[in-house]
Amino acid sequence: MTFLSLTNLKRLFMILIVAAVVAVMTGTPGSSTASPTTGVHGSFLERVSWFGLFAAPRWLLFLTLGVIVWLLMSLYRPRARTIRRGIDTVFAFPKELTSKRSTRIALILVALIIVLLLPKFVHESFWMYLIVEQIGVWILLALGLNVVVGFAGLLDLGFAAFYAIGAYTTAFLTGALPMPALFHHPIPTLWVIPIGILAAMIFGVVLGTPTLRLRGDYLAIVTLGFALIIDDFVETQSGVTGGGVGSSAVPHPSLNLGFWHFHWGISPTPYYYLCLVFVVVFILVFTSLEHSRIGRAWVAIREDEVAAESVGINPLKYKVMAFAVGAASGGFGGVMSAGLVGIVNPGLFTYQVSVNVLVLVIFGGMGSIWGVALGAIVIQTATSYLDNYQPWGYQINDLYMYIGALLIIMMIFRPAGLLPSRRRAREFAAAEGGEDIHTDEVLTGDQP
Amino acid sequence: MNDQATTDQVTTDLIIRAEHLTLRFGGVVSLRDVSIEMRRGEILAVIGPNGAGKTSLFNSLTGVYQPQEGSIMFMARDAAPLSVIGKKAHQIAQAGVSRTFQASRLFSALNVFENIKIGAEDHRGIGLVGALVRGPGTRRGEHRSDGVVVDLLEFVGLTSEANLIASQLSYGARRRLEIARALATDPEVILLDEPAAGTNPSEKLELAELIRRVRDERGVSVLLIEHDMKLIMSLAERLYVLNFGSVIAEGSPAEIRANPVVIDAYLGSSHEETKA
């Protein structure tokens, strides 16, 4: 019987170890004053109630869960191929649906109507607020990072830097920082939008020009470093940025056209529409870039930089461009968030933010604009829901554990993302089939 | 005076002149004092045993490697001679030196049409505004590159495969696609690194025919590395033989075939044994 084969029992053993680790991770915290092992003790021996049905010590619970997972895996293994194909057919349906131009346009129109009318359905302003702050802004960030990671294939682990640039530019120009505003003349938040976008783009060029000569892992580490520098700068230069406290005096945007005056106040709905307009604009801009000469050059660089150079493409130029273009939307995200919440402080732009944006992009489907937007909506909705309702004994600290698990499952079953871009899916398929992977046998050898 | 005139005559006739190239990787010398002259409009071949430095020479000529010593001049038809060393690969490609790779390096997730189009497009300038606004200039550019692609598809015989993904093509078709992509940059000289590697005999004949047409119909000078002696002897007008990073012989196919040094390099000690 395959269930009790040695390999399968080994697998059970591994799963139980993982279950034990998860039990400790999610269990009661230890204490440094009392016995440091209280956490481990409690994690296993504490009695918990499950759905109010029964109470059992945690070790029993996790043992049961482990065995269930093992049983499911044992059942899944022999049928893996069929199940995978099933999943693919389910996901192929929307792809087929959108292959026709007319249905695609109809779908976009329906989606547009839904998002336009959304404030009519969401009555609680708290949720409306979350939709803008937790979903809208994150869509902007994900769309921006998608240009860098998805289009140009550059792993950027410091995207929060651009977000921070946008937000701090807003705070600076509106006079909310300890440092006086430009020319001692604060300007309204709304007018900061183009300047914030431009500032982020310039910063993208400044950051990109020296670093984008690096490839792959090296680039990722440098971008990480830059984000940490920005974070540190903001945190320590209290005379300039307000330090760890930051500023909580960023004014709400307002528009004065003489005949028409509008003030974005406490209510989140106007922000929703402002954000929506820019999301649509960025989607249009990025879509048209994707299908332009520049988009094709990005694909070429992503697929094979040496070959791209051999047809006259300057990789550095196009990579810097990807950085700047992606930074635009990240920077706007910062302006938006600062204007809405009125607060800027270093805690909002940590490394965690960069990772989270990257998760959205990978989950949604690198290189796929609609996939990334959908991914941001799905994950951010789930996160907001979990954080605010805390169902099933969920704790905020556990969030990244679940997101990590989600990504692992995703990578196994749908490595190209929720709605993969066609090209990316092909690249993944080719890599899986072991086909056409360029081993750099001819051109490696770091030039001395 | 007369002498001066003749050298000038020769210079204008040349398209690439590489002199005293030495390329080292740490302690390994990959090219040792290699000098090569290529005339405009010829099919020139570089042959030699494995590891002789053929691909290193190609990589030096196209800016992928930077030789430590020596000079490379590229004489484009309507431009001042360009010193290749120190230039980036993309600059050399833009100047008119195009190439293919030993292990074909296509954009494998793109279709045949897109592969060639990327080569045909002008990658100078920024083009950010053009990409967003799609003004008449941008559209004209797109139209022009589409025209180039259609023309090249026909030239290499891939018109009916235009919509296939590059990785779906047969080996021979991939080789032709790579040549088409290289030609799309409108080069004056094309460097082909083992274009017939991995192809079957009938595909080899097609490729030889195609390479000849590249020169005859497109006026592009061809520099070629190849292992298949039959192919190279029928195709090349002149050959350089490399061994251990140095040029050991130069001449017409007939001369090379009769050259004892070359026979020695290729057959090595076994040749000595047969003589003995």
- B124-139 pLDDT tens trace: 877 777 777 777 878 8
Percent of chain A with pLDDT over 70: 86
Rounded to whole angstroms, the Cα distance separating B74 from B89 reads 13
Beta-sheet strands, E only, within chain B = 14-25, 28-39, 43-47, 69-74, 82-83, 97-99, 189-193, 221-225, 238-243, 246-251
- Mind telling me how many Å the CA of A420 is from chain B's nearest CA? 13
Q: Which residues of A touch B65 (CB under 8 A)?
A: 445, 447
> What pLDDT is attached to residue A35?
65
Instruction: Verify whether the Cβ–Cβ distance A423 to B110 is below 8 Å.
Output: yes
Nearest CB partner across the interface for B107, out of A288, A300, A448: A300
- Mind telling me how many Å the CA of A428 is from chain B's nearest CA? 9
> What pLDDT is attached to residue A76?
78
* Tokens (6 digits) for A243: 């330090």
Question: Is the model's pLDDT at B273 over the cut of 70?
Answer: no
Mean pLDDT computed over A353-370: 90
Name the β-bridge partners of B250. Answer: B240
Q: What is the pLDDT of residues A17-56, one digit of tens each?
A: 888 887 777 766 666 666 667 777 777 777 776 666 677 7
> What pLDDT is attached to residue A283?
92
> What pLDDT is attached to residue A141?
93
Q: State the pLDDT confidence band at A438, using cuts at 50, 70 and 90.
A: very low
ipTM for the complex? 0.86
Instruction: Verify whether the Cβ–Cβ distance B123 to A311 is below 8 Å.
Output: yes
What are the Cα distances from residue B72, in Å, to A295, A412, B66, B213?
33, 50, 11, 27
Rounded to whole angstroms, the Cα distance separating B52 from B31 reads 8
> What pLDDT is attached to residue B82?
87
A residues 212-271 closer than 8 Å to B (CB) = none
Among B179, B174, B176, which residue's Cα sits nearest to residue B191?
Answer: B179
* Cα dihedral across residues A112, A114, A120, A121: positive or negative: negative
Nearest CB partner across the interface for A292, out of B62, B105, B131: B131
Question: Does A442 contact B at CB distance below 8 Å?
Answer: yes
For B122, the closest chain A residue by CA position comes to A312
Instruction: Verify whether the Cβ–Cβ distance A303 to B24 is below 8 Å.
Output: no
Question: Is the model's pLDDT at A248 over the cut of 60?
Answer: yes
Question: Is the model's pLDDT at B10 over the cut of 60?
Answer: no
A residues 317-356 closer than 8 Å to B (CB) = 317, 321, 325
Q: State the pLDDT confidence band at B268, using cuts at 50, 70 and 90.
A: low
Mutate which of A303, A305, A310 to disrupt the B interface (most B C-beta within 10 Å)? A310
Q: Which residues of B touch A303 (CB under 8 A)?
A: 107-110
Q: Which residues of A touch B170 (CB under 8 A)?
A: none
Sheet holding B246-251, edge to edge: B97-99, B189-193, B221-225, B43-47, B238-243, B246-251
Mean pLDDT computed over A375-387: 88
Question: Is the model's pLDDT at B231 over the cut of 90?
Answer: no
- Mind telling me how many Å the CA of A57 is from chain B's nearest CA? 53
> What pLDDT is attached to residue A441?
38
Question: Does A68 contact B at CB distance below 8 Å?
Answer: no
Q: Higher-confidence residue: A139 or B13?
A: A139
For A307, the closest chain B residue by CA position comes to B105
> What pLDDT is attached to residue A67?
87
* Tokens (6 digits) for B39: 């005339």
Q: Which residues of A touch B107 (CB under 8 A)?
A: 299-300, 303-304, 307
Contacts of B276 (CB under 8 A, 6+ apart): none
Q: Which residues of A touch B122 (CB under 8 A)?
A: 293
Mutate which of A197, A281, A283, A293 to disrupt the B interface (most B C-beta within 10 Å)? A293
Q: State the pLDDT confidence band at B274, using cuts at 50, 70 and 90.
A: very low
Q: Virtual CA dihedral for A96, A102, A107, A108, nearest 10 degrees?
A: 120
Q: State the pLDDT confidence band at A444, using cuts at 50, 70 and 90.
A: very low
Question: Does A152 contact B at CB distance below 8 Å?
Answer: no
| Phi and psi based region of residue B144 (left: phi greater than 0; alpha: psi -120 to 50; beta: remaining) | alpha
Question: Is the model's pLDDT at A85 over the cut of 90?
Answer: no
Question: Does A6 contact B at CB distance below 8 Å?
Answer: no
Q: State the pLDDT confidence band at B46, using cuts at 50, 70 and 90.
A: very high
Model confidence, pTM: 0.80
Q: What is the pLDDT of residues B57-109, one digit of tens each?
A: 999 999 889 999 999 999 888 888 888 888 899 999 999 999 999 888 898 88
Rounded to whole angstroms, the Cα distance separating A268 from A289 reads 31
Question: Does A431 contact B at CB distance below 8 Å?
Answer: no
Q: Give the H or E element holding residue A225.
A: helix A216-236
Most confident range (mean pLDDT) of A28-37, A261-270, A281-290 is A281-290
Mean pLDDT score across all residues of chain A:
81
Mean pLDDT score across all residues of chain B:
85
Rounded to whole angstroms, the Cα distance separating A392 from A49 reads 10
Question: Does A444 contact B at CB distance below 8 Å?
Answer: no
